[in-house]
Each structure stands twice: as C-alpha cells, then as structure tokens.
Structure 1
C-alpha cells in the first residue's frame, strides 16, 4: 500500500508553481497568490526539494521554466484540477445538506476596495451561518466560472455581458496609463484627442466586446479609429507591463494608481474620459437563489447608504480566501 509521506508536494505549492509558470515574475505571482515574494520563493524551493528537480532558473533579471519543469506542468495541472473538483464537490454536498455557501469571485484588485470589504463585513456579520468562499480570478477566469456555475457572483467593474444582473456599488473616474518614457506622461492632464495616435493594450479575445469597447473608449467622441496591440491581457499587472514595454496606453479605474504604483508607468487624468462603475454581478437565472438574495439585499442597502469608492484606508482583517487561493 502506498503511503503519503511528509515530502509529498502540497497542493498550494503546486498552485504556486502554476502561477509562477504563468507570470515568470516572482512579484506578480506573489501578488496573485496574496503572498510575499520571500514566501513564494520559499514555497518553490521546498517544492523543488520535495520533487528532487529544478523547476525554474532564476537570475536577477529573469525567471524561466526548466525543460523538466515545462514537461511536468500538465501533471501539476491535473493534480490541482482534481483538488479543485474535490473542493467544489464538498461545497455542493454542504449546500445540499442545508448549509449555505456563497461562492464569490474577485479580480486581483477587488479585495483591496472599500466597497468589497463593506459588503463582505455586512454579509458575515448579519449572516454568521453563511460560509463565504472567495476565489481570486482574472477577467477571463471570472466570466468562465460564472457561466459554468463554479461561483455564484463576482465583484467586477462594469459593463458585463447580457444574461447577468449587475448591482452597482460605487462610481469613480478613469485614468490613462502611459509608459514613464512617453512624452505625454509629463503632462498633468490630457484629453482623448491627445491619445489618438496611441494604440490601446489589447485584452484577451474571451473578454466581451462590451468590456473591450468600454475600457478603450471605442468609439471615441470624434469617431477617430482606435488601434489595439496584439496583447491578450487578462490581469492588471500584465497590462501595465505592456504599457511600459510597448509604449501602448490603457484606461483603468483611478484607484489603480494607488493599488499598482510602478516606476515604469504614469497615471494621468483625462478630462473627457467617462467614469466607471464597480459592483457585483450574478446570473439572471440565479436571482431567486437564497444566497444570492442575501447578497443582493446587503448590496442594495449599503449602496443606498453610500459606499466610498477606491481602496480601503484602514484595513482590518482580510477576507479569508477560498481553498483555491491558499
């Protein structure tokens, strides 16, 4: 009989491997996993020691998968996917037994927003028997998870595709993000016409057309054609790197300047750029679901009272992440 040994790799270490393999950057991977860079480095070192192989080559400038690390990725994904399936099955069983579980999707910046924290705090305070399971996902993963029923609702910036109910929480300005080397980055304020010859960073094709058009302000008020780069971005950090390296431009919520400060990019006000709305969405078909009704009630009451836009100012306890993100 095979026995589980203390040197067997843990699922969270395998998940760290997959994330680092996608980002090839310890800082970005650590941010996605809500870890510090030293903690992520330690996890990867322990995993390499347990497997007895080198998974990555590291220099001061670059992180790369070794050929063996690349070959092992499909097997690692199988293990992580099996763990996720087990967790989801357990959640479903708990729900079927009468225990209420609300599965919420978060983008990599939504957890730091004041509105998100207020909603979560109200939910857990008013409904102590409700289990809230968080999953940190990118733009594409979030849409896919909602469509597949893997999450019940998601904190997102609007717009959203058809078939979903959108409950707005806050509104804030949008800003332009430019490379620090772009001459326009020296101007304190811009107009859309100033950016007419700049290409917008391309989002992944799985992102809905409504979202792509909104975040590029396409069409522009003067009907000038909008050009896009060949990128397929799904996360903010990847978008910022595209801006930095390729002299492209992107529009983001104003809070991004606070959440993603980087020396290689600049955030600038654009006077005629429309604001954006942050809120919670869920499938229209699930509007009568008991956990969604609880969420909807909290969102509407807090929205009527007035929620602050932007990041939290005095963070207390962070939300407990779901097993998929630990």
Structure 2
C-alpha cells in the first residue's frame, strides 16, 4: 500500500496508540486497553502512517504485525513518548516547586556523606527556586540552632530532645577513637566490655542529655561510663584530646574518612548499637513548605538507597 507524505506532524496520542498496538498485536485487545473502539484505533493508526509517510502495521485476516519500517521506528516512538512524559513530570514538579530559603545544619562533617549530598542535590533539582544554605553544627548547636531558628532543619545523629521531630535516614556503625599508643589500637575490633574502666572525653553540659544517653551512659557489663573533665562541644576538641592520650571517644564510623588524624586510630566496636542518622526539625515548623520539601526529598532518597 502506497502512503502519501504529508507535512502534518504525528500527535503524541497517536504514538501512544501505536505502542499499545505493538505490544498486543491485536486490534481488539489494544482497543480494549485504550478504552476506544477498534475502528477508532484503526483510523488513528492509518492517520499516523499518513503523517509519517510510511506503513507501520500489516494487518491480515489472521494476524497483525509491525512492518520492517514499523519495527525499526518503534524505539524512536517509545523514546518520544518517554521524553514527553518526562517533560510533563518536570513541569509538574516545577509547578509544585517550593521557593524561598532553607538553612540546613549538618552535624560536623556529615555534610560530606554520600547520602546527605544526594539529598541536597535532589532537593535543588526538585525545587530550583529554593535557596539552600548549609551550615555546620556541633554537639550543642545541632539543637540550639533549631530552637532559636537560626537553622530550619538539621541532619545529624539522633535522638534529639523534646519539641524536635525527626525522620531516620540510615545507620552507621560505632567505632572507638583511641590514641595510636593505646593497646586497643593494635586490634581490628573490640567489644563494649573491653572499654570498662576507660574514660571517655567529657562533653559540655550544654549538650542535650538525651543525646549523651544515646552514646551509652552504661556499658553492657554494668559499670557507669566515666568522663574526663573536658567540656568538649565539637568533634575537633574530642579528637585532639584523644590524640594527647587524655581519654577515648565513641564516634560514627564515618569519622575514619572525614577525620583522619595522626596519633589516633578508629577501632570497630562490634556490639555497640549503630548511630542513627536523621533529619530533624522543630515540631511547630513541621508544615513549613521548605521543611516539608526537605523531609519528603530525604525520605525518597533514603528509601532508594
């Protein structure tokens, strides 16, 4: 059958019909899937062939099949439909895009974690008109900055005190940071019982008690954790004290990558509960559009990993 060429471009609707027909290779089944009649489907396919100037489908009394031209063009048809769908999804996303400014606090070097980087990148992609500012926070300011609203949300190690809501994103094993000269430094791993009687670097009383408790107020074998007289409020202070042989420190395993130091070694603690990484916000600001956008993006990124 000769098909005359026309200047009219095919519609995306016609391309979608062809894709379904190519899957079913049966006009009746394809029409049923598309909720149209068989004659209507036949007319649209013929119109598509007219517009493209090529026969796409061969129909006999026994079967329906794509012509060589139809089979060759099918990947391009699918690509066009997928591109249009992607365009619509992007347009919808931009239509829902949140504008304004969002200040995100990241605990110590946690902003360098692949998970956190993926969240921030995806947030900017989905909400291009939202200005995102990242600020470092320490043991104290991870909570105080939320309370005084100098940050809108923090990505940190949970838990946090009352009045702050959080969404867990993932876990990290715990390690013990020891001086290189310490006998434990020669070991590949230790158990919590191996730390009995050892002192941990003390933290300032400004650190939330619930956060202190998360770093174990008691060892599994019973004795209370003993703290040095230090009043550390950040990880740099803690690691400096460890390097000087003034005590030990529990830390997330990511410190191996982000805080390598001469004079200290990170040893895996096999029976310590993992650190829980999460995004947190003030309960009263839960419905803030920018905070909600961060929360939604963080949830989807974490679920995909």
TM-score computed with the length of structure 2 as normaliser: 0.66
The answer to whether residue 276 in structure 2 is matched with residue 286 in structure 1 is no
Distance in structure 2 (CA, Å) of the matches to 1:120 and 1:206 = 29
> Residue by residue, what CA displacement relative to the aligned partner does 1:45-76 show, whole Å, maximum 9, x if unpaired?
xxxxxxxxxxxxxxxxxxxxxxxxxxxxxxxx
Shift of 1:247: 3.5
Aligned to 2:209: 209
Aligned to 1:218: 217
Could you say what secondary structure the match of 2:199 adopts?
Answer: coil
Shift of 1:189: 1.6
> Residue by residue, what CA displacement relative to the aligned partner does 1:174-199 show, whole Å, maximum 9, x if unpaired?
10110111112112221111111110
Distance in structure 1 (CA, Å) of the matches to 2:113 and 2:237 = 20
Q: How does 1:1-326 map to 2 (within 5 A)?
A: 100-215=100-215, 217-306=216-305
Shift of 1:141: 2.3
Shift of 1:167: 1.2
- Are 1:201 and 1:239, in contact at CA under 8 Å, matched by a contact in 2? yes
- Are 1:189 and 1:268, in contact at CA under 8 Å, matched by a contact in 2? yes
Could you say what secondary structure the match of 1:102 adopts?
Answer: strand
- Are 1:182 and 1:247, in contact at CA under 8 Å, matched by a contact in 2? no
Shift of 1:135: 1.8
Instruction: Give structure 1 stretches of 5+ with no counterpart.
Output: 1-97, 307-326
- Are 2:199 and 2:228, in contact at CA under 8 Å, matched by a contact in 1? yes
Distance in structure 1 (CA, Å) of the matches to 2:213 and 2:244 = 23
Instruction: Give structure 2 stretches of 5+ with no counterpart.
Output: 1-97
- Are 1:178 and 1:247, in contact at CA under 8 Å, matched by a contact in 2? no
Shift of 1:107: 2.5
Distance in structure 2 (CA, Å) of the matches to 1:229 and 1:284 = 34
- Are 2:109 and 2:136, in contact at CA under 8 Å, matched by a contact in 1? no
- Are 2:146 and 2:282, in contact at CA under 8 Å, matched by a contact in 1? yes
TM-score computed with the length of structure 1 as normaliser: 0.61
- Are 1:200 and 1:250, in contact at CA under 8 Å, matched by a contact in 2? yes
> Residue by residue, what CA displacement relative to the aligned partner does 1:125-169 show, whole Å, maximum 9, x if unpaired?
011011112222222123211101111101101111111111111
- Structure number with larger C-alpha Rg: 2
Q: Which has the higher contact order (CA 8 A, sep 6+)?
A: 1
Distance in structure 2 (CA, Å) of the matches to 1:196 and 1:110 = 29
Distance in structure 1 (CA, Å) of the matches to 2:103 and 2:293 = 12
Could you say what secondary structure the match of 1:300 adopts?
Answer: helix
Could you say what secondary structure the match of 2:243 adopts?
Answer: helix
Shift of 1:119: 0.7
Distance in structure 2 (CA, Å) of the matches to 1:213 and 1:165 = 18
Deviating beyond 3 angstroms after TM superposition, the runs of 4 or more aligned structure 1 residues are none
Distance in structure 1 (CA, Å) of the matches to 2:135 and 2:298 = 19
Aligned to 1:324: none
Q: How many residues align?
A: 208
Could you say what secondary structure the match of 2:200 adopts?
Answer: coil
> Residue by residue, what CA displacement relative to the aligned partner does 1:5-60 show, whole Å, maximum 9, x if unpaired?
xxxxxxxxxxxxxxxxxxxxxxxxxxxxxxxxxxxxxxxxxxxxxxxxxxxxxxxx
Shift of 1:110: 1.4
Could you say what secondary structure the match of 2:103 adopts?
Answer: strand
